[in-house]
Structure 1
Amino acid sequence: MLLSLIVFRNLSPPSDYEELSNNVVDNTKGLPLAIKVLGSFLRSRSLLEWKRALKKMKEVFSGEIFSLLKIDGLDDYQKDIFPDIACFFMGECISYVRKFWKSCDLYPDGGIAVLIDKLLITIKYGKLEMHDMIQEMGREIVRRESPKDPGERDMLWFYEYVLHVLTEGTGTNRVEAMMLKLAAPEEVHFSAQAFTNMKRPRIFHKPFRPQENCTSNPE
């Protein structure tokens, strides 16, 4: 309905645009801001242009959406906290993550409040949550630091990238955070040189256990 109101000034799209409209909303994961941006772009566009826009959405965020959704207006501490959640801590207990951030001098209480106020994160049952599209945006910010060389990014969360960096022991000068989620019962031997090359390690993260009760220990 939101997309149709923006594009067609009606509560429902014309029949020939109905399937494409559903696909657009599916690709935005229902994020209202993304729907508004895409709706403004798609207004008065032909069916062919809609199909091209959908194809581009599936490949990568459009520059316009990315620029409007990115995290301008956050201070340096909040800009550290936001990608931490997107890359590592979504679904983790807020009490655990808050203690971690305090140990890194990131002042989490104010930062968390700002991210909640900006609708970038929520807290449910004591755990950090984030819309799928917001998470992908946070990860895209990190990916764009070095599109071709993961070892030149601040953060690594894909298993294959982490495994390559740790076993080869190269390309870790910039990496300060990584998530290790082994495919049990796989045995992996790390290169000690990989850790030596990490000049400013901050996070070496093992994902949370789903059965963990976050509400029983609020701090």
Structure 2
Amino acid sequence: MRLQHVEFDEDLINLKSFSEWIASIGNGTIGGPNDDNAVIDIPDNLLLNASDDPVASIVNNTYPNFTSNVNETKYLQGRAILAPTLNVVEIVNEYMISLNAAEAKTCLSLDTTCRSYCNVDLLQDLYTPEFLNAIRWSGVSNHELKLKVGGPVMLLRNIDYSLGLCNGTRLVIIRTRNHVLESKILTSSNTRHKVLIPMMTLTPSNPKLLFELRRR
């Protein structure tokens, strides 16, 4: 955990206490002697009173008044939602996209198998486009990607270190084109710089796949 700049001593104490608590979970020193399975009590001040829609509760707590602040850089900089699985990521993304009144642009990928394999024709017969399109894996975007102007996104590849365009860099979409996305950087020293994200080919590293997927 990295301690961020805070203005008051009380905030610093609370942040330090939270960091130590998180570290003790990661180190396995909390919860008493255990066999890698421990029951951990989460402090009440870290819990949300979820309504019938827990996703809405999380989003509304993390991004209050999202629709009226969607174009505010500082508002987006200090907020992020972490999710444990890809399914949860998609649920949260769909909900947040629905809050953005801008027109959605749907981008579809071109999925193929790597041509370095010996029998390319056989691979194409075995793995149909429908099968390849349905593959979802960490580190690569889905076949169908919905984007809206004003929506925050995260870069999944290293493009240009000098501009701060690295894996994990957060950006906000300014304009969508057919082959590039115009966006503004939310993180790093190049905050607010406008950049163009080109169409690119992603190859996920997945030992469970018996072939190499190329998603453009």
TM-score (norm 1): 0.25
User: Which structure's residues are more often strand, by fraction?
Assistant: 2
User: Which structure's residues are more often helix, by fraction?
Assistant: 1
